[in-house]
Chains A and B, each alone.
Chain A
Amino acid sequence: MPLSERPPAEILLVEDTLTDAKLIAEAFERGPIVSHLSIVENGVEAMRFLRGLGKYAGVPRANLILLDLNMPLKDGYEVLAEIKADEDLKSIPVIVLTSSPAESDVARAYDLKANCYIPKPGGFDELRQLVVEIESFWFSTATLPPRPPPV
């Protein structure tokens, strides 16, 4: 199915740095597919969102999660581990998108079952290109899992 005919993609961005979040949001707005990006700024909110708790009751389920690793309150590794341990949530692809370049972080992320690890690009143009790559791959080439049932 061509990208343009698919239903809107629901993407959850877990990102604590406001400037990064804004840039990523803008990049998605200009991306090739109709997408709805939800942004939470820490791991606790991420889990509440994914579980449809409190103010997140009734939110559409995420097709894809972009996760920064270094965040306050509940760090990205914890979030990743929780998502991949949850029977309802574990099937959602998690892209770790982080500026931490250390090889131990890469290994740890994959060990915790991140679907893939992508270093955050420096500039906005690179970011836009990255969004194109992510959307093209995950919403056209790959077959996404059916979304978990609503809470």
Chain B
Amino acid sequence: MRITDTRPVEILLVEDSPSDAELALEALREAKVRNHLSHVEDGVEAMRFVRRQGEYAQAPRPDLILLDLNLPRKDGREVLSEIKADEELRSIPVVVLTTSRAEQEVLRTYKLQANCYITKPVDFEQFLQLVRSLESFWLYVVTLPGLAPGLPVEPGSQPSASQGRMNGMRRV
């Protein structure tokens, strides 16, 4: 395992449930790998964020996206398709974190090239454990495309010493 001392990992959380978002934020705040979490609450904002449109012009490029499938305004499945069809964006790992465990849903999501599918447990403690496991694997074991050794820090990105939330999200 390698310890990275490069910039914090940029994570985009696309999640409409405030309690689930809060839980993820808390769990990632304690992570052993420094990370910065941005949060949007629907699919339209998700696409605007990754495309750096409007108020997101200075948004950091995510190193990892945590994506719920059931989102208002634009469904998570559409977001996934759009990201994976976009030459600029498709290399960003997308971890789907959603409530359904229906086989056909899981299959369809992997076929859409989600990097991983995780079913959210109902239980609070299990959810916390899950986010920790996710963090351990995706931030620590895996080499994310934006953070391969030797890559220059992206121009415009701001290394931050603490976890924080991005302003600019709208309550739907």
Chain A contacts to B: CB under 8 angstroms: 84, 87, 90-93, 101-103, 106-107, 110-111, 113, 115-119, 121, 126, 129-130, 133-134, 136-137, 140-146
Chain B contacts to A: CB under 8 angstroms: 1-2, 84, 90-93, 101, 103, 106-107, 109-111, 113, 115-119, 130, 133-134, 136-138, 141-143, 145, 148-151
Which label, helix, strand, loop or mixed, suits the secondary structure of the A interface?
A: mixed
Q: Which residue of B lies closest to A136 (CB)?
A: B133
B106 touches A143 (CB 8 A): yes
Query: Could you list 21 A-B pairs, sorted by A, with CB under 8 Å?
Result: A90-B110, A90-B113, A91-B110, A102-B150, A103-B150, A110-B91, A110-B93, A110-B145, A113-B90, A113-B113, A116-B93, A116-B115, A118-B143, A119-B2, A129-B1, A130-B1, A141-B130, A142-B117, A142-B118, A145-B110, A145-B117
A145 touches B148 (CB 8 A): no
Among B90, B93, B111, B134, point to the contact of A91 (Cβ < 8 A). B111
A103 touches B118 (CB 8 A): no
- List the A side residues contacting B134 at CB < 8 Å: 137, 141
